[in-house]
Amino acid sequence: MLSIGTTTTYGVYLQEYKLVEFSDASSSLLSWIGTLQFSAMCLFGIGVGVLCEHFDTRLLSALGALISGLALVAASFCNSPWKLLLTQGLLYGFGGSLLYITGLTLPPQWFSKYRALATGIAIAGSGIGGLWLSTATRAMTSNLSRQWALRITGLVIIGVCGATCSLMKMRFKPEKRQKIIDLSVLCDRRFVLLFLGALFGSAGYFIPYYFMPSYAVVVLGKNSDWGANVSSIMNGASIAGRVVMGVLGDRVGSLNTLWAATLLSCLSILVLWLPFSSAGTFFAAAAIFGFFSGAIVSLIPVVTANIFGVRRLPSVIGLLMLAYMTGGLISSPPAGAMLDKYGHGKDFDGLVIYTGVLLGASAISQTFLRLIISRQLWYKV
C-alpha cells in the first residue's frame, strides 16, 4: 500500500512541481524523480532478493520502513529538482525496495491453490495506497504545503510499515548456495521472454499514472483537483482489477491472464485515450487501464513462482527487478521529453503512442513465452 502506492501518487507531485514550484524545469527532468523512485527500488531489489535468502525478512522490512520514511521527510526540506532526485527519488527507492521485495515474494510462499488470488490481494494494496494517497496528497499540498505532504507521508510509512514488519516472515528456510546470485536462469529462454515482458510492461505501466493527471488539467481544462481524481480513478480500478485478475489467474492460468490483461491495457491506451479528447472517453480509458494494468505487477511473481518454483522466487524476482528498473528508465523520462520537444507541453499524442507500443511489445513477449510452454489453446499456464 505504501511502497508502491507512494510511487503511483507521484503524478500529483509532478503536477505541483511543473505547474507551481519548478515551472521553468523540463517535464523530463521532473519525471525523473518519480522514475528514479521505482528504478532505484528495482535496482536495489536485486540485492534485496539475495538478502531475503540470508537474513530475517522482518528485519529487512523494518529497515525499509525507516529509510523510505526518512527519505520523504528529507525531501520536504529540498528546494531544487536535483536534491529531490537524491531524496524523494534515489533514497526512497532504496528504502522502498526493502519493503517491496519482501512484500512481493512472501505471499506466493504461503499459498498454493489460491496463489494468484493471494498475491493479487496483497499487491492490490498498491492500488489502495494510490487511491487514498492521491486524494490525501492533493489535499495536503493545497491546504498545507508540498513540504508537509512529504513529511506526513514519510511519518505514516514509518508508523504503519514499522508496525506490520513483525508479520513479514518467510515460510521456507532458504537453501544454502555456493553462488551469491544464481545466474544460470539467464540461459533459460523462458526467463528471457519473461524478462522482456516485464521490462516493456513496466515501462508502459507508469506513464499513464504520471501523465494522465496533467492531461486532465492541460488538455481537458479541468482544475488541479481533477489531477488527483484521475489518479484515484486509476488506483481504485486497479484494486478491483488485481483481485479479479488473481481469481482468473487461479482458474485459467496466471500467464494466460497476464497476457490478456496486458493486451487490454494496450488497447485502452490506443483505442480510447489516443483518438479521443473528450472527458468521458478519457476517464473510461483511465479506469480500464487501471483495472487491467495492475496484473502487470501482481501476476509477474505468480508466473515466476509457477515456472521456476517458490524456493528460487526471491533470487529470480531480484533479477527481474533489472527488467523493472530498465523499464522505468525508458518510461517517463523519454515520454516527458516527447511531450516537451514534440508536443510543446500540450500535445500528448506522441506520449500516448509510445505507451501503447511499449505495452504491445510486452504482450508479444508474453505470447512467445506462452507458446514455448504450451501451444495448446486452452492449456492452463
User: What is the per-residue pLDDT for 361?
Assistant: 94
Q: How far apart are CA 230 and CA 253, in angstroms?
A: 31
Displacement of CA 222 from its chain's centroid (Å): 26
- The model's pLDDT over 310-328, given as tens digits with 9 standing for 90+, comes to 667 666 777 787 888 888 7
Give percent of the chain above pLDDT 70: 94
User: What is the per-residue pLDDT for 377?
Assistant: 75
**Higher pLDDT, residue 310 or 333:** 333
Confidence of residue 14 (pLDDT cuts 50, 70, 90): confident
Superfamily of domain 3-167+181-373: MFS general substrate transporter like domains (1.20.1250.20)
Shortest CA distance to 332 belongs to which of 207, 230, 214, 221?
Answer: 207
Mean residue pLDDT of the chain comes to 83
- The model's pLDDT over 343-363, given as tens digits with 9 standing for 90+, comes to 777 888 888 999 999 999 999
Give yes or no for a contact between 303 and 190, defined as CB atoms under 8 angstroms apart.
no
Answering whether pTM is above 0.85, one says no
Angle between helices 225-252 and 115-143 (to 10 degrees): 180
Encoded amino acid at 193, one letter: L
Instruction: Give whichever of 24-33, 73-82, 111-120 has the largest mean pLDDT.
Output: 73-82
In the structure grid, which three cell numbers stand for residue 198, read together?
A: 516485464
Q: What is the DSSP secondary-structure string of 63-109?
A: HHHHHHHHHHHHHTT--SHHHHIIIIIIIHHHHHHHHHHHHHHSHHH
User: What is the per-residue pLDDT for 70?
Assistant: 94
User: What is the per-residue pLDDT for 206?
Assistant: 81
Q: How far apart are CA 128 and CA 182, in angstroms?
A: 34
Give yes or no for a contact between 82 and 63, defined as CB atoms under 8 angstroms apart.
no
Confidence of residue 183 (pLDDT cuts 50, 70, 90): low
User: What is the per-residue pLDDT for 175?
Assistant: 58
Lowest mean pLDDT among 69-83, 156-170, 182-196: 182-196
Domain coordinates in residue numbering, the chain: 3-167+181-373
pLDDT tops 70 at residue 178: no
Q: b or e along 210-220 (b: 16 or more beta carbons within 10 Å of the residue's beta carbon)?
A: bbbbbbbbbee
Confidence of residue 180 (pLDDT cuts 50, 70, 90): low
Give yes or no for a contact between 234 and 209, defined as CB atoms under 8 angstroms apart.
yes
Rg (CA), the chain: 19
User: What is the per-residue pLDDT for 288?
Assistant: 93
Distance of CA 223 to CAs 41, 52, 274, Å?
32, 45, 22
- The model's pLDDT over 252-281, given as tens digits with 9 standing for 90+, comes to 888 999 999 999 999 999 999 988 878 889
Lowest mean pLDDT among 96-105, 182-191, 327-336: 182-191
**What's the mean pLDDT in 291-308?**
83
User: What is the per-residue pLDDT for 243?
Assistant: 81
SS3 349: helix
* Other residues' Cβ atoms within 10 Å of the Cβ of residue 353: 15
Shortest CA distance to 181 belongs to which of 61, 321, 305, 326?
Answer: 321
